[in-house]
C-alpha cells in the first residue's frame, strides 16, 4: 500500500475512533408554566415546593436518558410527574373552566419520524400525556378530542376518573376570583392560569422529542382548546429542534410559534437561542402575546426564554448543567 493511502486510512481510522469515544450529548429541559405567581407573592415555602416539583420531573426524565432510554420516554415521564403534582396547571390541580371542570389538553411529538399524538378537552383522564402517546402509537390519528378521546382511552384500557379528582381548593378559589373579575378580565391581557407543563429532550441516539400538558385558562369557555395540543403551535419536534411553549395559547396558535421557531433553526440556520429570542421577544411581543418557550437542538444546545414576569423552568445535560429557575434573574 502506498504511503499516502496508508496515512489517509489511518486518518479515517483515528477520526472514527475519536467519534466513537465522544459520547453524544444528553439533555432535558422542562417548564412549569409562564403564567407564574407574582414574585412579590411568592413565599420561600412555595418557591421551595415548586423547585422540588420541577427537580423531581427533571431528574426522572434525565435518569431515563442516562439509562439509554428514548427522548420520548423522558419527556413523557417528566410531564406525567408534573401532571400528578397539584401545584401545576396539568392533570390534578389544573385550572378550571367556567363550569368548574378541569378540561385538559396535551400533546407529544417524536422528532424522529416525525410522529405526533394529542388530546384536547378531556375531563376524566389522569395523565393526558399518556393518552396523547397512545393516540400517536395506537391510532392512525394525531388529535382526538373530548368524549371521542375518552372513548379511545377506554378502548386502550385507560381508566377514567371522576371529575372531582382534578379539582383542588386553590383552583376553585382562582375560578371564583376570575368569575368576579370577569368583565374586566375579558378585556385584560392577563396571563391564563399558572403552571402549564412541558418538556423537550435529546437522547443518546440523537433523537429529539417534545411534550406539553395543560388545563389551559381559568374560567375558559367549555370546549376552548389552547396551543398545547396543536402540533406546531405549543408543541413541536423534528430532527433538528424540539419546542414546548407556555403562555396565551391563542397567540401561540395564530403565530404557529413552536414550528416557526424550528423553521428559523432549519431554514435561516439560527441557533436555538437566537430563534427563541426572535420568536418570543420580537414576533410574539409585537402582537401583544405573552409567554415563553423551552427549546433544544440536536447538539444539546438549550434555550429557555419568556417575555412574561417569569417562567418556571429547569434544565439538565450530560455536560454537567443542572439549573432550576423561576424569574428573570435565575431565582
Ligand atoms: N398555553 C396554555 C393555553 O393557552 C396556557 C399556559 O401555558 O399557561 O392553553
Q: Hey, what's the cell of 118?
A: 394529542
The minimum-distance atom of ligand 1 relative to the CA of 234 is: 1
DSSP secondary structure code for residue 163 in this structure: G
pLDDT given at position 215: 97
What does the alpha-carbon distance between residue 11 and residue 93 come to, in Å, rounded to a whole number? 58
Q: Identify each DSSP E strand in the chain by its residue range.
A: 27-31, 104-110, 115-122, 143-145, 197-202, 208-214, 235-237, 241-247, 291-297, 302-306, 310-317, 322-327
Ligand 1 centre from 248 Cα, in Å? 5
Evaluate the CA torsion angle 137, 259, 29, 81 in order and state its sign: negative
Q: How do the residues of the chain divide into helix, strand and coil, expressed in percent and rounded to 5?
A: 40, 20, 40
Ligand 1 centre from 195 Cα, in Å? 8
C-alpha radius of gyration, the chain, whole number? 20
Average per-residue pLDDT for the chain: 92
Domains of the chain: residue spans and CATH? 24-327 (3.60.20.30)
Q: Catalytic: 196?
A: yes
What does the alpha-carbon distance between residue 81 and residue 28 come to, in Å, rounded to a whole number? 14
pLDDT given at position 302: 98
- Output the CA–CA distances (angstroms, integers) from residue 272 to 172, 257, 263, 268, in the order listed: 38, 13, 10, 11
For residue 47, is it left (φ>0), alpha (ψ between -120 and 50) or beta?
alpha
Residue showing cell 391581557: 189
Nearest CA residue ID for atom 7, ligand 1? 246
CA dihedral 85, 243, 307, 97 (to 10 degrees): -50
Ligand 1 centre from 125 Cα, in Å? 18
Contacts of 268 (CB under 8 A, 6+ apart): 275
In DSSP terms, 242 is beta-bridged to 237, 296
Angle between helix 146-155 and 128-138 (nearest 10): 70
pLDDT given at position 42: 87
Q: Is the pLDDT of residue 140 over 80?
A: yes
The minimum-distance atom of ligand 1 relative to the CA of 224 is: 9
pLDDT given at position 58: 98
pLDDT given at position 230: 98
Would you place residue 181 in the very low, low, confident or very high pLDDT band (cuts 50, 70, 90)?
Answer: confident
Within 6 A (CB) of ligand 1 lie 33-35, 89, 192-193, 196, 214, 216-217, 226-228, 234, 246-249
Q: Is the pLDDT of residue 89 over 50?
A: yes
Q: Are 202 and 300 in contact (CB under 8 A)?
A: yes
- Output the CA–CA distances (angstroms, integers) from residue 241 to 17, 52, 197, 227, 261, in the order listed: 27, 28, 18, 18, 9
Q: Is the pLDDT of residue 153 over 70?
A: yes
Q: Are 240 and 298 in contact (CB under 8 A)?
A: yes
Q: Is the pLDDT of residue 186 over 60?
A: no
pLDDT in tens, 29-87: 999 999 767 788 889 999 999 999 999 999 999 999 999 999 999 999 999 999 999 99
pLDDT given at position 38: 79
The minimum-distance atom of ligand 1 relative to the CA of 226 is: 9
Q: Identify each DSSP E strand in 215-321 by its residue range.
A: 235-237, 241-247, 291-297, 302-306, 310-317
Nearest CA residue ID for atom 5, ligand 1? 216
DSSP secondary structure code for residue 284 in this structure: I
What does the alpha-carbon distance between residue 245 and residue 211 come to, in Å, rounded to a whole number? 9
Among 255, 291, 293, the mutation site with the greatest number of ligand 1 atoms within 8 A of its Cβ is: 291
pLDDT in tens, 275-285: 999 999 999 99
> Of the ranges 51-60, 184-193, 219-228, which one carries the lowest mean pLDDT score?
184-193
Would you place residue 193 in the very low, low, confident or very high pLDDT band (cuts 50, 70, 90)?
Answer: low
Amino acid at each position: 500500500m502506498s504511503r499516502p493511502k496508508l496515512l489517509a486510512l489511518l486518518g479515517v481510522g483515528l477520526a472514527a475512533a475519536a467519534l466513537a469515544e465522544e459520547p453524544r450529548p444528553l439533555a432535558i429541559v422542562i417548564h412549569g408554566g409562564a403564567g407564574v405567581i407574582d414574585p412579590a407573592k411568592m413565599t420561600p415555602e412555595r418557591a421551595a415546593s415548586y423547585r422540588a416539583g420541577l427537580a423531581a420531573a427533571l431528574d426522572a426524565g434525565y435518569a431515563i436518558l442516562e439509562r439509554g432510554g428514548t427522548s420520548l420516554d423522558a419527556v413523557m415521564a417528566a410531564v406525567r410527574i408534573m401532571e400528578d403534582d397539584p401545584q401545576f396547571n396539568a392533570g390534578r390541580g389544573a385550572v378550571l373552566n367556567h363550569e368548574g371542570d378541569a378540561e385538559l389538553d396535551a400533546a407529544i411529538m417524536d422528532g424522529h419520524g416525525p410522529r405526533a399524538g394529542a388530546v384536547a378537552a378531556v375531563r376524566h383522564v389522569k395523565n393526558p400525556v399518556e393518552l396523547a402517546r397512545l393516540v400517536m402509537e395506537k391510532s392512525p390519528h394525531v388529535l382526538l378530542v373530548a368524549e371521542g378521546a375518552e372513548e379511545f382511552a377506554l378502548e386502550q384500557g385507560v381508566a377514567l376518573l371522576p371529575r372531582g379528582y382534578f379539582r383542588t381548593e386553590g383552583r376553585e378559589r382562582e375560578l371564583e376570583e376570575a368569575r368576579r373579575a370577569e368583565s374586566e378580565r375579558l378585556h385584560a391581557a392577563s396571563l391564563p392560569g399558572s403552571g402549564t407543563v412541558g418538556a423537550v429532550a435529546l437522547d443518546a441516539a440523537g433523537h429529539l422529542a417534545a411534550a406539553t400538558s395543560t388545563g389551559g385558562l381559568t374560567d375558559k369557555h367549555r370546549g376552548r382548546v389552547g396551543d398545547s395540543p396543536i402540533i406546531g403551535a405549543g408543541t413541536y419536534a423534528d430532527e433538528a429542534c424540539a419546542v414546548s411553549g407556555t403562555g396565551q395559547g391563542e397567540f401561540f396558535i395564530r403565530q404557529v410559534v413552536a414550528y416557526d421557531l424550528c423553521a428559523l433553526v432549519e431554514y435561516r440556520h439560527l441557533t436555538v437561542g437566537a430563534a427563541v429570542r426572535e420568536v418570543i421577544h420580537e414576533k410574539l411581543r409585537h402582537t401583544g402575546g405573552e409567554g415563553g418557550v423551552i427549546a433544544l437542538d440536536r447538539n444539546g444546545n438549550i434555550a429557555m426564554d419568556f417575555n412574561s414576569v417569569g417562567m418556571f423552568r429547569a434544565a439538565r445535560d450530560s455536560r454537567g448543567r443542572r439549573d432550576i429557575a423561576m424569574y428573570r434573574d435565575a431565582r
